[in-house]
Amino acid sequence: MPYRVTFVCTGNICRSPMAEWIVRHHVEEAGLDVEVDSSGTDGWHVGEGADHRTVRTLTRAGYRVAHRARQFEPSWFDRYDLIIAMDRGHRRALRAMAPDAEALGKIRLLREFDPAAGDDLDVPDPYYGGRADFEHVRELIEAAVPGLLEEIRNALKDR
């Protein structure tokens, strides 16, 4: 059974799909048995594709993307090994949905995996910004990838 990781933001059209496709690329390159996907805390964009600026940012950086937005459901806690919130607000929303302590233990912030992040653990929402804001989000996600891959490798060893 593969290790399962999901990324969660608000509408599942900017930050979480960007994290999904960046991390998916890196776990595939590393040959890890990991399934990666994403969702949102809210259902505003369910069924829509990723924001066109997210798609362009990923494409420019050499990542592929194919996405349909969906909303995180409390019943999904059982299906994931790691649930990664993009900011503290998403973490708060996920914690409110968590049915038990085991589920709470699966919730992490993405930037916790970036040792250079310090106390700045939120990935900012680029939705109301421009190209530079989307590129900044990509850079923050990429900075967390090595630490996240180490976490996943350690978890896979323990299986």
Residue 130's domain is classified under what CATH number? 3.40.50.2300
Q: Please give the residue range of the domain that contains residue 128.
A: 3-157
Q: Which residues are catalytic?
A: 9, 15, 125
Model confidence over 95-129: pLDDT tens digits? 999 999 999 999 999 999 999 999 999 999 999 99
Per-residue pLDDT, 158:
86
Model confidence over 127-158: pLDDT tens digits? 999 999 999 999 999 999 999 999 999 999 98
Give every strand in the sheet of 107-109, ordered side by side. 34-40, 3-9, 82-85, 107-109
Model confidence over 52-65: pLDDT tens digits? 999 999 999 999 99
Per-residue pLDDT, 90:
98
Write the CA distances from 112 to 131, 146, 155, integer angstroms. Answer: 25, 11, 16
Q: Is residue 159 scored above 90 in pLDDT?
A: no
Model confidence at 27, in pLDDT bands (50, 70, 90)?
very high
Q: Are 83 and 8 in contact (CB under 8 A)?
A: yes
pTM of the model: 0.97
Please count the structural domains in the chain.
Answer: 1
